């Protein structure tokens, strides 16, 4: 009974300690971000990359840290590590509706369109960022899977009505489905 009583007495102080730890981490990340901005502006990309690697290990669920690290690695042509960063982020954060987007966007940019649907289709059920729909619909179109592209554009426009570029993209896909090719999509 005595250990239980001691545990109950300690619980409030553990909650305070957890809150303090969270505050310390937020301040540390704020400071690291500020320093990273200085290094970035000075062109010291290796130092920024090293710092982002550290921050990514400390907080593997931080979307901004993971995508900043991946983007900077891509910008210095370290594509393998960039892809590994995106893949690790997706695997560690399966409930994040946008976790698969950085990896899918990487493949899309590399014109590896066939890899995009397997990554993005499951996230549509999780209410992801609108760019998920856009990249997926464009990937389907570039693979000439026009019915799938139309389905994704329809779903997107139902959620976000008044997106004029999306409506234009849908019209283009419908024209292709009907055999009226108005123009090739960008990047084809």
Q: Is the pLDDT confidence value at 43 over 80?
A: yes
At the top level of CATH, the class of 99-188 is mainly alpha
**Rounded distance between C-alpha atoms, residue 134 and residue 152, angstroms:** 8
Helices 164-177, 146-159: axis angle to 10 degrees equals 150
Asked whether the domain spanning 99-188 has the same topology as the one spanning 12-93, the reply is yes
Mean pLDDT over 10-18 rounds to 60
Cβ atoms within 10 Å of 93's Cβ, excluding its own: 17
Confidence of residue 38 (pLDDT cuts 50, 70, 90): confident
Quick: pLDDT tens for 94-137: 999 999 999 999 999 999 999 999 999 999 999 999 999 999 99
Confidence of residue 10 (pLDDT cuts 50, 70, 90): low
Mean pLDDT over 145-164 rounds to 96
**Rounded distance between C-alpha atoms, residue 181 and residue 120, angstroms:** 27
Q: Distance between alpha carbon 137 and the CA centroid of its chain, in Å?
A: 17
Q: Is the pLDDT confidence value at 183 over 60?
A: no
Mean pLDDT over 146-165 rounds to 96
Burial grade of 157 (CB within 10 A; 0-12, 13-18, 19 or more)? middle
Name which of 74, 68, 62, 185 is nearest 134 in CA terms.
Answer: 185
Element (H, E) at 74: helix 63-75
Superfamily of 12-93 according to CATH: Tetratricopeptide repeat domain (1.25.40.10)
Q: Which of 10-19, 42-51, 178-187 has the highest mean pLDDT?
A: 42-51
Q: Is the pLDDT confidence value at 36 over 90?
A: no
Averaged pLDDT of the chain:
89
Q: Is the pLDDT confidence value at 93 over 60?
A: yes
Confidence of residue 24 (pLDDT cuts 50, 70, 90): confident
Q: Is the pLDDT confidence value at 142 over 90?
A: yes
Q: Is the pLDDT confidence value at 1 over 60?
A: no
Torsion of CA 66, 70, 71, 74, to 10 degrees: 180
**Which sequence spans correspond to the domains of the chain?**
12-93, 99-188
**Rounded distance between C-alpha atoms, residue 184 and residue 176, angstroms:** 9
> Residue 25 has what pLDDT?
77
């Amino acid at each position: 009974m005595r250990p239980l009583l001691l545990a109950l007495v300690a619980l409030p102080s553990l909650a305070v300690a957890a809150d303090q730890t969270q505050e310390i981490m937020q301040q540390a990340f704020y400071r690291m971000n500020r320093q990273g901005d200085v290094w970035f502006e000075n062109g010291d990309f290796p130092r920024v990359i090293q710092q982002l690697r550290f921050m990514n290990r400390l907080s593997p669920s931080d979307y901004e840290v993971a995508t900043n690290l991946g983007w900077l690695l891509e910008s210095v042509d370290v594509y393998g590590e960039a892809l590994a960063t995106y893949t690790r982020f997706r695997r560690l954060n399966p409930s994040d509706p946008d976790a698969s987007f950085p990896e899918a966007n990487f493949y899309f940019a590399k014109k590896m369109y066939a890899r995009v649907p397997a990554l993005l289709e499951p996230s549509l059920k999780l209410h992801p960022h609108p760019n998920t729909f856009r990249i997926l619909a464009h990937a389907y179109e570039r693979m000439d899977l026009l019915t799938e592209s139309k389905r994704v554009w329809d779903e997107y426009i139902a959620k976000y009505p008044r997106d004029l570029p999306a409506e234009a993209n849908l019209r283009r896909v419908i024209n292709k489905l009907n055999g009226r090719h108005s123009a090739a999509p960008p990047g084809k």
